[in-house]
Structure 1
Amino acid sequence: MVLSRFWLVIFISSIVFIVFGFFIGNSYSVDYVLNGKKDDPILISEKYLNEIPKFIQDSIQKNEEKTFVINRDTINADTTYVYKNQTVKIYSGVQKTDGLLPTCKSSLFDLILPLMAYLAFFCGLMELLIISGAAEKLAKKLSPVFAQVFPSVPKNHESISYMTLNFAANFLGLDSAATPFGLKAMQSLQEINPEKDKASDAQIMFMCLHAAGLTLIPTSIIGYRAAENAANPADVMLPCIVTSFIGTIAAMIIVGIRQKINFLSATLLVALMTVIAAIVGLLFYINGLDLVGKNFFTANLSGLMLVAIIGFTLVFSFINEKKFSEKSTTVFDAFVSGANNGLQTGVKIFPYVMGMLVAISFFRNSGLFEIMSDGISFAFSNIGVSKQITDSLPVAMLRPFSSGGSRGFMIDAMRNFGPDSFTGRLSCIFQCSAETTFYVIAVYFGSVNIKNTRYTLGTMLLVDLICVITAIFVASWFF
């Protein structure tokens, strides 16, 4: 209900703002909202040739392409005059994101189809884990811990193994594997959900822990920093780990208090201390490496772990091939069956993803996001917050809505302020330590047709805020 109302609010308010701006003359056309593409120039006016300044007329007529560009610099968008069909079209600024129709198209071709491919492969592997008995063994090992955090989940339930694989994939920065494991976990939890259209306590806890995004190897962030020629691309790794870990603990506590979970359980405390010890130990090891060693380690750990998971699944399935025969199937046929289920899941979630992305497209192209972002930055600057922090806030603000949009702001911050500047580094930590909340809710709850998400959205946004505040303090401490 909350998500539905929020979707309606941002959609309708954006449309009203666009129409109002058009009629009062703030915008010349609304076509860019419908058909424009990201980074396309925006048409702001159209005039006859004799209505523009004389020096521009002369420049256009002398130019073979009948165009003239002014205000050319590396920061502000150019103003371009194009003479065609007896009129001069004036363009200024660039579009923030794709319009409605390109968003519909890209959500299918650039997002859902690749996601369906990942879903097909990893759901095929998960089918092997189930039939071979590996998922059951993993669930038995972890049941004592999960019983404390997810008391409504039966002992040794298969969802435990799926959630574990999802957390592990996030931990290693394997986004392509994390989503299929997470969707399978939601479907498995839905089977024991007594109210099928309402999120269960276990589903809410899983979603909020997933949103915190505990990450050990922020592979993509390191890659972007290396592309921008950072002196040490991996120098944000430790701040990212600390920030995402605090966010994960905060999510567990916030949801746990609401669900009356016993945090003083010896099993839970031992498991938490073990995770902390493992992270600290690994960080000490990484910190002892030289720059080349760090780059080699961070570039290969995630990939090696994924290969290990795939290899273990196939070898374990081969060893336990008799269990496949008992179910009148083979290892390959079981993989194909699981892959087919993954494709069906991709088809099911497409409308949810498209609907959310189109609303976000309207929100950004309407200019409302810019106004909110500028207003918040202005308010923070007036209370004494450093400009280095306010310059990176657009990344934090857009992250819950769009991973691609916030990534664009992050890259822009590194290019304008430098990858080794405080702003550049803080933007990277913002990008790494939060989740695309609205996309994740649309995908995960959409996959199981849950309409009432209860307090999930509010909690996930609160966790995002905690991650933002933590990132500022951690960045100030490290840099």
Structure 2
Amino acid sequence: MVLSRFWLAIFVSSIAFIIIGLFTNKYYSIDYVLNGKQGEPILIAEKYLKDIPQAVQDSILKSKENTFTVKTAKTTTDTLYVYNKQSVKIYSGVQQADGLLPMAKSSLLDLIIPLIAYLAFFCGIMELLIISGASEKLAKKLSPMFAKVFPTIPKNHESISYMTLNFAANFLGLDSAATPFGLKAMQSLQELNDDKDRASDAQIMFMCLHAAGLTLIPTSIIGYRAAENAANPADVMLPCIITSFVGTIAAFLLVGMKQRINFKSVSLLAVLMGLIGAIIGLLFYVNTLDLIGKNYFTANLSGVLLLAIIGFTLIFSFVNEKKFTEHKTTMFDTFVVGANNGLKTGVMIFPYVMGMLVAISLLRNSGLFEIISQGISFIFSHLGVAKEITDSLPVAILRPFSSGGSRGFMIDAMRTFGPDSFAGRLSCIFQCSAETTFYVIAVYFGSVSIKNTRYTLGMMLLVDLICVITGVLVASWFF
């Protein structure tokens, strides 16, 4: 219900802001809001050639393309004049996101179709894990710990193995694998849910832990920093791990208190301390490596472990091939069945993803989000928050809405202030240590057709805020 109201509020407020802007002459044309593409210049006026400055007229007429660009300072936008059939169209600024209609199209072509491909492959692998008995063995091993975190899940339930694989994939920065495992976990948890329209406690806990985004190898962030010529692209790795780990612990404690989980369990504390120890030990090891060693380690660990999971699944299935015979099927046919289920899941979640993305597109292109972002930065700057932090806030504010949008702000921050500046590094930490909350809710709950998400959205946004505060503190400590 909360998510539905929020989605409606985005649409209504954005449309109202656009219409008011049109009638108050803030916008010359609102066509870009509906049909424009991200990065394209925005039409702000159209005049007859004789009505523009003489110097600009001369420059346009001398140009073979009948265009002229007025270059401005780096912090402002260029102005482009395009002459065609007696009138001159004037463009200034660039579009922040695809328009509503192109976004609806790209959500299918650029997002859902690739996602369906990932879902098909990894759901095929997961079907092999199920039939071969590997998922059952994994669930038995982890049941004692998961029984403390998810008390409503029966012992040795298959959802335990799916959640484990999802957490492991996120931990290693394997987004393409994490989503199929997570969707399979949600579907498995839905089987235990008595009220099919209402999120269960187990589903909420899983979603919030997933959203905290505990990451060991932030490969994409390191890649972006390397592309921007950072002196040490991997220097944000440790702050990213610490920030995401704090967010994960916060999610567990906050949701656990809401669900009255027993935190005094010895086994739960032992597992938690073991996880903390393992992360600290790995961090110490990585810290002993030189620049080339860190780059080599981060570039290969995730890929090797993913191949190991796939290889283990295939070998384990081959060794236990008799179980496939008992089910009157073969390994390959089992893989095809799983892939087909992944395809169906991808088709089911498309409307949920498209609906959320077009709403966010409208919010960004209306200019309302920019005003909100600038307002928040203004308030923080007058509260004494350093300018280096407020320069990074657009990434933190946009991250729950759009991964691509926040990534653009992150790259812009590195290019404007430098990849080794405090603002550039903090932007990378913000990008790495949180999840695209609204997209994740739309995808995961949409896959099981849950309408009442209860307190999930509020809790996930609170965890995002904790990650932002932690990111600032950790960045201040390291840099």
TM-score by length of 1: 0.99
Residue by residue over 1:342-376, the C-alpha shift from the partner in whole angstroms, topping out at 9 and shown as x without a partner, is 00000000000000000000000000110011111
Match status 1:397 vs 2:362: no
Which residue in the other structure is 1:278 paired with? Answer: 278
Offset of residue 394 of structure 1: 0.2
AA aligned opposite 1:396: A
Which residue in the other structure is 1:86 paired with? Answer: 86
CA–CA distance in 1 between the matches of 2:54 and 2:281? 70
AA aligned opposite 1:346: G
Match status 1:294 vs 2:301: no
Residue by residue over 1:165-209, the C-alpha shift from the partner in whole angstroms, topping out at 9 and shown as x without a partner, is 000000000000000000000000000000000000000000000
Which residue in the other structure is 1:223 paired with? Answer: 223
AA aligned opposite 2:170: N
Q: Secondary structure at the match of 1:46?
A: strand
Which residue in the other structure is 2:132 paired with? Answer: 132
Which residue in the other structure is 2:15 paired with? Answer: 15
Which residue in the other structure is 1:170 paired with? Answer: 170
Offset of residue 267 of structure 1: 0.9
Offset of residue 76 of structure 1: 2.3
Which residue in the other structure is 1:382 paired with? Answer: 382
Offset of residue 73 of structure 1: 4.5
Which residue in the other structure is 1:472 paired with? Answer: 472
CA–CA distance in 2 between the matches of 1:110 and 1:189? 29
Judge which range, 211-220 or 62-71, deviates more.
62-71
CA–CA distance in 2 between the matches of 1:39 and 1:65? 21
Judge which range, 72-81 or 445-454, deviates more.
72-81
CA–CA distance in 1 between the matches of 2:9 and 2:85? 41
Matches within 5 A, 1:198-347: 198-347=198-347
Which residue in the other structure is 2:182 paired with? Answer: 182
Alignment RMSD (CA, Å): 0.6
AA aligned opposite 1:420: D
Residue by residue over 1:209-229, the C-alpha shift from the partner in whole angstroms, topping out at 9 and shown as x without a partner, is 000000000010011111111
Offset of residue 75 of structure 1: 3.5
CA–CA distance in 2 between the matches of 1:228 and 1:53? 39
Q: Secondary structure at the match of 1:103?
A: helix
CA–CA distance in 1 between the matches of 2:338 and 2:68? 57
CA–CA distance in 1 between the matches of 2:421 and 2:52? 42
AA aligned opposite 1:90: I
AA aligned opposite 2:279: I
CA–CA distance in 1 between the matches of 2:224 and 2:249? 28
Match status 1:415 vs 2:432: no
Which residue in the other structure is 2:68 paired with? Answer: 68
Offset of residue 72 of structure 1: 4.0
Q: Secondary structure at the match of 1:285?
A: helix
AA aligned opposite 1:337: V
CA–CA distance in 1 between the matches of 2:415 and 2:48? 38
AA aligned opposite 1:361: S
CA–CA distance in 2 between the matches of 1:284 and 1:400? 31
Q: Secondary structure at the match of 1:409?
A: helix
Q: Secondary structure at the match of 1:81?
A: strand
Q: Secondary structure at the match of 2:26?
A: coil
AA aligned opposite 1:227: A
Q: Secondary structure at the match of 2:119?
A: helix
Which residue in the other structure is 2:141 paired with? Answer: 141
Which residue in the other structure is 2:351 paired with? Answer: 351
Which residue in the other structure is 1:48 paired with? Answer: 48
CA–CA distance in 2 between the matches of 1:89 and 1:229? 37
Q: Secondary structure at the match of 1:306?
A: helix
Which residue in the other structure is 1:448 paired with? Answer: 448
CA–CA distance in 1 between the matches of 2:114 and 2:98? 19
AA aligned opposite 1:223: G
CA–CA distance in 1 between the matches of 2:309 and 2:425? 32
AA aligned opposite 1:416: T
Judge which range, 59-68 or 437-446, deviates more.
59-68
TM-score by length of 2: 0.99
Residue by residue over 1:295-320, the C-alpha shift from the partner in whole angstroms, topping out at 9 and shown as x without a partner, is 10011000000000000000000000
AA aligned opposite 2:429: I
Aligned length: 479
Which residue in the other structure is 1:192 paired with? Answer: 192
CA–CA distance in 2 between the matches of 1:252 and 1:437? 16
CA–CA distance in 2 between the matches of 1:396 and 1:464? 8
Identity of aligned residues (%): 78
Offset of residue 68 of structure 1: 1.3
CA–CA distance in 1 between the matches of 2:203 and 2:179? 15
Residue by residue over 1:97-149, the C-alpha shift from the partner in whole angstroms, topping out at 9 and shown as x without a partner, is 00011101110011000000000000000000000000000000000000000
Offset of residue 291 of structure 1: 1.1
CA–CA distance in 1 between the matches of 2:22 and 2:8? 21
AA aligned opposite 1:379: I
CA–CA distance in 1 between the matches of 2:287 and 2:49? 64
> Any stretches of 5+ residues in structure 1 without a counterpart?
none
Which residue in the other structure is 2:158 paired with? Answer: 158
CA–CA distance in 2 between the matches of 1:289 and 1:96? 39
> Any stretches of 5+ residues in structure 2 without a counterpart?
none
CA–CA distance in 2 between the matches of 1:315 and 1:73? 60
Offset of residue 74 of structure 1: 3.7
CA–CA distance in 2 between the matches of 1:240 and 1:6? 29
Which residue in the other structure is 2:368 paired with? Answer: 368
CA–CA distance in 2 between the matches of 1:65 and 1:231? 41
Which residue in the other structure is 1:114 paired with? Answer: 114
Which residue in the other structure is 1:77 paired with? Answer: 77
AA aligned opposite 1:26: K
Q: Secondary structure at the match of 2:88?
A: strand
Residue by residue over 1:207-264, the C-alpha shift from the partner in whole angstroms, topping out at 9 and shown as x without a partner, is 0000000000001001111111111111101100100000000000110001000011
CA–CA distance in 2 between the matches of 1:231 and 1:57? 46
Offset of residue 57 of structure 1: 1.3
